[in-house]
Amino acid sequence: MNYDQKVLSEYEGKENGYTEEKFLNQENIKEEQHPMEKMISGADENGKSQKNAETKPEDTGYEQEKLENQDRKNEQIKEMGQVTLDRNPRKHHVELLTIIGEVEGHESAPSQSKTTKYEHVLPKLALVEDDEDVDGLLILLNTVGGDVEAGLAIAEMIASLSIPTVSLVLGGGHSIGVPMAVSADYSFVVPSATMVIHPVRSSGMFIGVAQTYRNMEKIQDRITGFIASHSHISQKRLEELMLDTTQLVKDVGTMLEGREAVEEGLIDEVGGMKEALAKLYELIDLQKAEKKIDNFMIKLVTLLTIYEKSSTFSFDCPSFCDIMLENE
């Protein structure tokens, strides 16, 4: 009896009533497939199994997540020049901040100009300070200067960070770029870089009265005061360089090359990327060591306080050693 005859006889048997035995027989018949159906279903199963063998779901998900993370990093680099450096042997988590072109302030720069927008930099610095996983910040500068208030705002935020910071001047660190360069804990400059120091400029309407001059003088004092307090150059020497009329053709001021900037005390050291990262790792290791010492001293003072109040406390007890070595 072939498959079609079995199905036909089963349908005919329904007229005589449904018994449990016939129901089980019918289920067995349903499970038995036509030879052609077996061939088709077998081919489908083989195809599915082969496809599943070729692409594992967990591998596909991991690769997709990896590609998405890389796309996010590339977009972050493209839009704001920011990236995370975390593949070093010491496993330090370092944030990279680039300040290039013109520092854009309250007014937008021309569309063809390369700019660093302070409304992008300030939130980034706030996130860096708030994130306990970030160990340090590396600032790369190649800027012509820009808005005074925006540049000073960025410099003040960098100087106020609790994590170690290192700056590296590449190409140029002119005008308001100088305060941003010296705002880090330690600064580097490549030998071929230049830094132009000049008096404050003003664009737009200028009222020729004494009050305007005094206002410009106050702005300039804010800049020179910040630079002097975050570097090894005096404010008096800085003003002398600003008012030099023998160097620049179309402006008043001084252009310092890499080594000259170090000799004047403006920048700490001549070096490149290798030296900047090495110094940053050194500062990070030092800060972590200081934190361990601080935690150890806090525990020691706490235990000494307990010892003074308790006559049964002993330095020989295991609990003392356990507490002192906890999280060390």
Give whole-number Cα distances, 94 to 137, 146, 287, in Å: 6, 27, 14
Active site residue 311: no
In this predicted structure, what is the pLDDT of residue 299? 78
Domain boundaries, the chain: 3-54, 86-282, 288-325
In this predicted structure, what is the pLDDT of residue 298? 84
* Of 175, 183, 187, 231, catalytic: 175
Neighbours of 101 (CB within 10 A): 17
- Report the CATH fold assignment for 86-282: 2-enoyl-CoA Hydratase; Chain A, domain 1 (3.90.226)
pTM above 0.75, yes or no: no
Q: What is the pLDDT of residues 143-183, one digit of tens each?
A: 998 889 999 999 999 999 999 999 999 999 999 999 999 99
In this predicted structure, what is the pLDDT of residue 208? 79
| Spans of the chain, pLDDT less than 70 | 1-59, 62, 66-82, 307-328
* Of 92, 174, 198, 230, catalytic: 198
Which two three-digit tokens encode residue 182? 């010296």
Q: What is the pLDDT of residues 258-300, one digit of tens each?
A: 999 999 999 999 999 999 999 999 999 999 898 888 888 887 7
In this predicted structure, what is the pLDDT of residue 158? 96
Residue 145 DSSP code = E
Interatomic CA distance for residues 99 and 82, integer angstroms: 10
In this predicted structure, what is the pLDDT of residue 225? 94
In this predicted structure, what is the pLDDT of residue 294? 83
User: What's the distance, CA 81 to chain centroid?
Assistant: 10
Cβ–Cβ < 8 Å for 117, 146 = no
Q: Greatest CA span in the chain, whole angstroms?
A: 119
Active site residue 175: yes
